[in-house]
Amino acid sequence: MTIENSKNDIEETNPFLTEWHTPHQTPPFQAIKHEHFIPAIDASLNEAKDEVDKIIKSTNEPTFQNTIVALEVCGEKLERVTSVLFNLNSAETDETIQAITREVSPKLSEFSNYISLNEALFNRVKTVYLRRELLSLTAEDMPLLEKKYLGFVRSGANLEGNAKKRYAEIITELSKLSLQFSENILAETNAYQLVISDPTDLAGLPESEIEAAAQMAKAKETAGWIFTLHGPSFVGFMKYADNQKLREEMYRAYTSRGFHKNDKNNEEIIRNMVNLKLEKAKLLGFETHANYVLAERMAENPQRVLEFLHQLHEASRPAAQREFAEVLEFAKNIGTEKPMQRWDWSYYSEKLKNASYGFDEQQVKPYFQLEKVCDGVFNLATRLYGLTFRENKDIPVYHPDATAYEVYDQDGSFLSVLYLDFFPREGKSGGAWMNDLRPESQVNGNVIRPIITIVCNFTKPTDTKPSLLTFNEVTTLLHEFGHALHGMLANTVYPSQSGTNVYRDFVELPSQIMENWATQKDWLDLFAIHYVTGEKIPAELVQKLIDAENFQAGYACERQLSFGLNDMAWHSITEPMTGDIVEFEQAAIAPTELFAPVEGSCLSTAFSHIFAGGYAAGYYGYKWAEVLDADAFSLFKSNGIFDKTTAASLRKNILEKGGTEHPMKLYKAFRGQEPSIEPLLERSGLKK
């Protein structure tokens, strides 16, 4: 068989190049092989370029339909392939998937530049834009037109000659660097494991943590117990292990990822990325990358962000200092012989919380069996929005841990496919996220319902226990489910305005408001049942949980602000950065620090949100959204936490609308007023 025939055979059997005869046209994961991606991307790239060329070469006068809408639907087949690839690269990757992603990333950047830097295409878009007031555009047409036009301008369409060429080079290089940053962190996370052979080194750890570590060792065919840098394992060890020396080892391993003198070091990648972002911003007429980003955010400019962060800092700093002193005194009183270090904070904080409130997180875990929590979250969506969830085992999944559900609206109509994928594995990035494999859209009356994924890293079941979640894991699931609702309930015409395609500092409102239900007894009673006894979670335990909710709220706020300040510092540079990464970082976060720096540790080299995600100059958005969610949930507290009228307003004015209107307009339509910071300060105990 010739090479050409082999290529033809691959293309003929390539599932990306054929129709999907699966439930709801979900990806046929069982048929997708690594070798299918590059031929499919090459073929769909060529088709997408032809679609763009057809718009450009049209002899008809530019109109909203033949230019703006045509551009909106360009590359649908390409999106179908890349959405699967990038989801797999986060949730179920391997060296081959990573290599494929690296290979196609420059091609995708080149195609993006082919559109954004195409003078003839921009001229057609500009023609429609300049005539916008004369056109009969709908409430969704106008923001799409404005978004397309500004998208070209912000992507260098007005640049000429060498400047336009340099812009394209920057975009391609940033794409490569972002991928490399992410791969380095995953590799460093997977490379470390703490192997314990002496049972005395397990002192302080709950039985569930020990059993999970034993199961990990068994899976790796190693004697003893293994702890890793993946979330559930690392967090549990730092919180409960009595052995300070081992806590220090784990802490140093976690906080030095991307900071070792090896081929996974991210320091030069950071310098290159922030310098390239600065260069791009200046090419486009902005002083800094932060100015460029915030021009399309609720906050609008860096000054307002810094004022906001400073306002929260002023409110939280006294409490943080008081809380810090309390932990130091507590540790001293129970006989610690060494000065408090960063790797001691979680350990002694947990003990102080237990002593202060009689609350130990292990007390609530038996009531948070993963399957029951999922039922509770689904039930909440049913009570608020009338949704129902049905598992469909005929829908292909990309890993045996993933489960697929069909989601139906209150009138019985199909809404969405929802994938849930909960447990850590070596091919999965850390953390938790929601994504879509297909956004909702209704272009030209063709209704496309979304395909949504929720990916987490929760505690796995063991041989003797089901997966029992920490309270933090329960709130994480609620958070990501809020994002999922934003995607599943989308009701917009155009995919680029659908679901979570909103301003970055608004996107966390639908997710963070869901976390508020985690301490509501009326909701907990629906599912929080002891996995052995079958008893509902006791009222006194819920009260302890509520009392402990704001434990060290000042310290937690300062920690979150340190991330936001670090992010803003990196993306507010006005001259190329050539200095030391750690010195720069420490200067940025100094106002929030309570501990002395730890030599060999660096936050930035593993700060994936801003260097491998979409939060550059936007990490403040989490706190910004906290203001929104506290203010918004105060309406539910007034009207009832299951109030269907309030939920219907949230759905109609925010969840369905996506990015079709300015976020403040949407928020005021729901709330009746602009958000106030007071409910957040009151909820967190920073203001009585």
Residues designated as active site? 480
Q: How many residues does the chain have?
A: 688
> Which phi-psi region, left, alpha or beta, contains residue 640 (left: φ > 0; alpha: ψ -120 to 50)?
left
Nearest to 233 by CA among 470, 502, 581, 511: 470
Q: Which ranges of 491-572 does DSSP label H, i.e. alpha helix?
A: 509-512, 521-524, 539-549, 553-570
> Which phi-psi region, left, alpha or beta, contains residue 529 (left: φ > 0; alpha: ψ -120 to 50)?
beta
CA 45 to mean position of chain CA atoms: 27
Handedness of CA 65, 71, 72, 74 (dihedral sign): positive
CA 239 to mean position of chain CA atoms: 24
Contacts of 467 (CB under 8 A, 6+ apart): 369, 370, 371, 422, 423, 458, 459, 460, 461
Q: In this structure, are residues 189 and 426 in contact, taking their beta carbons and an 8 Å threshold? A: no
The CA-atom distances, in angstroms, between 409 and each of 382, 482, 486, 562 are 9, 16, 14, 41
Task: Please tell me the number of Cα atoms within 13 Å of 613 on its side-chain side.
Answer: 20
Calpha distance 44→75 (Å, rounded): 7
Q: In this structure, are residues 606 and 257 in contact, taking their beta carbons and an 8 Å threshold? A: yes
* Kind plus residue range of the DSSP H or E element containing 603: none
Q: Pairing mode, if any, of strands 451-455 and 414-421?
A: parallel
Residue 573 DSSP symbol = -
The token duo for 267 is 């320091």
3-state secondary structure at position 446:
coil
Q: In this structure, are residues 539 and 521 in contact, taking their beta carbons and an 8 Å threshold? A: yes
CA 650 to mean position of chain CA atoms: 21
Calpha distance 347→244 (Å, rounded): 9
CA 273 to mean position of chain CA atoms: 20
User: What one-letter code names the amino acid at 99?
Assistant: A
3-state secondary structure at position 451:
strand
> Which phi-psi region, left, alpha or beta, contains residue 672 (left: φ > 0; alpha: ψ -120 to 50)?
left
User: What one-letter code names the amino acid at 428?
Assistant: K
Calpha distance 474→144 (Å, rounded): 37
Calpha distance 31→265 (Å, rounded): 36
Calpha distance 375→368 (Å, rounded): 11
The token duo for 293 is 């980003």
Calpha distance 317→442 (Å, rounded): 48
Calpha distance 137→503 (Å, rounded): 22
3-state secondary structure at position 297:
coil
Q: In this structure, are residues 67 and 125 in contact, taking their beta carbons and an 8 Å threshold? A: yes
Calpha distance 462→467 (Å, rounded): 7
